[in-house]
Structure 1
Amino acid sequence: MSSILIVDDEPQILEILSSYLSKEGYHVITAEDGRGALELAATYPLGLIILDLMLPDMTGEDVCREIRKTSRVPIMMLTAKSGEVDRITGLEIGADDYLVKPFSPRELVARVRAILRRMGDFQALSDIVELGDMIVSLRDKSVTKKGQPLELTPNEYRLLTTLLRHPGRTWTREELVDKVLGLDFVGSDRTIDTHIKNLRHKIEDDPRQPVYIKTVYGLGYRLDNPDKTRG
């Protein structure tokens, strides 16, 4: 069974969250600093990381960046910073969710359920799809472009595969938020624009002139197959 890693330097928060998540049947491990978190992340099979941004030895952002070098495990950030810029920064470096302190433990548990449910939906698929010069393996959740592996965050991967299920269909921001971030996501639907921007930088030769993910002005986004477009 995959574990949930909680990283926070406040013992009371570790105790409360561990108690709530354990009662839900999750296996919980904890760390009080960034280096301890990285060590545990490299040792245990993790289903989710709950990561405080204010740690004594390194920032949560740096921990997230290090983890993203080798893993797409979902990461939920905890922070006292509530500004939009802070949330966007967290999403851009690979976070999947962002919860501002103080928060309700019940809300956190609900968000954990939603994230793991979304991950489970995609784990059930087992196909390989070729799209232009990309190959998307739904079996092992990997994406390659021109034979080179792409490092996508879980949200970027879910966004790509959601669009991939219906090539040529235009998705509204609201629909993509529901599919990728979950029905219980709290925040602006413009959050999806950040994920689109990050994904384009990874899959497009020129993000300013995308051939895969097209903007349908006034409506949303769609995924095109460049081979069919050229034909």
Structure 2
Amino acid sequence: MRVLVVEDEKLLAETVRRGLSNEGFVVDLAPDGVSGLWAATENPYDVIILDLMLPLKNGYDVLKELRERRIWTPVMMLTAKDGEYDQTDAFDLGADDYLTKPFSFLVLVARLRALIRRGAPERPVVLRLGTLTLDPAKRAVARGDAAIALTAREYGLLQFLMRRHDQVVSKAEILDNVWDPDFQGGDNVVEVYIGYLRRKIDVPFRVQTLTTVRGMGYQLSPDRPGHDGNTPETMPDGGAAAP
């Protein structure tokens, strides 16, 4: 398993290199965005760890250029910036995961292995599921011709669900991928935002695409007829929509 680490903090880069080497990874280091972009373009990697604040070319630009060149290697953003807009921008540009400093090395290794198992599928420019579309470049969501306004958190949640459409995803998976790593609240916040999202992408259009699978999590599927919005939504498993 070959990893590219693009990190300008020499001590941190060397620490990550030694640790990953001990875990069986082959690690290349790049100290700035320009050399990191060159290495990622010229060599095959299983995964890339990319710092956000880099000399010569920042991590956002490196990631954007990689995806524009149709290089789909999984990218984990590793950065001290932990705002939700920073994460949303990274995911919009094609990042696969986001880990903030300081971080647990065990968590880093586990996430890298998960990204490698997932592989590097080509990302479509616009995500589509039935009549629902999400355009990462414009950060725009629509159902058919009707635009849907979402908050940053709702947008991040929908993007995560659309990338895993037809799969059942747990609250823990959603928290790990949509919320900040240091979020201290309970997982009930996921139910709340699922409810917010459902009221925007389903209820006004009388379709039922975002469903609850009792005891397991949530699933986003293509369009099917839904309720009229005047009564609590009933899920296929017998559950009810989150408030």
Residues 47, 74 of structure 2: 8 Å contact kept = yes
Q: Could you list the per-position Cα deviations for residues 22-64 of structure 1 after superposition, in whole angstroms to 9, with x for gaps in the alignment?
A: 1111111110111101111111111111001111111111111
Aligned partner of 1:214 in structure 2 is 209
Matches within 5 A, 1:35-184: 35-69=34-68, 70-119=70-119, 141-142=121-122, 162-164=164-166, 171=168, 174=171, 177=174
Cα pair distance change 1:177/1:10, threshold 3 Å? same
Residue 209 of structure 2 aligns to a residue in which SS? strand
- Write the letter of the residue equivalent to 1:48: V
Residues 166, 219 of structure 2: 8 Å contact kept = no
Choose 1 or 2 for highest CA Rg. 2
- Write the letter of the residue equivalent to 1:68: R
Q: CA deviation at 1:159?
A: 5.9
After TM superposition, the score normalised by the length of structure 2 is: 0.56
After TM superposition, the score normalised by the length of structure 1 is: 0.59
Aligned partner of 1:130 in structure 2 is none
Report which structure shows greater RCO (CA 8 Å, sep ≥6): 1
Q: CA deviation at 1:217?
A: 8.9
Residues 159, 176 of structure 1: 8 Å contact kept = no
Q: CA deviation at 1:105?
A: 2.5
Cα pair distance change 1:189/1:118, threshold 3 Å? farther
Aligned partner of 1:132 in structure 2 is none
Cα pair distance change 1:13/1:90, threshold 3 Å? same
Cα pair distance change 1:16/1:176, threshold 3 Å? closer
Cα pair distance change 1:189/1:143, threshold 3 Å? same
Residues 72, 123 of structure 2: 8 Å contact kept = no
Q: CA deviation at 1:225?
A: 7.3
Residues 21, 109 of structure 1: 8 Å contact kept = yes
Cα pair distance change 1:216/1:106, threshold 3 Å? closer
Cα pair distance change 1:158/1:44, threshold 3 Å? farther
**Pairwise CA RMSD of aligned residues?**
4.1
Runs (5+) with no aligned partner, structure 2: 126-134, 137-157, 184-188, 225-243
Aligned partner of 1:16 in structure 2 is 15
Cα pair distance change 1:175/1:17, threshold 3 Å? closer
Q: CA deviation at 1:163?
A: 3.0
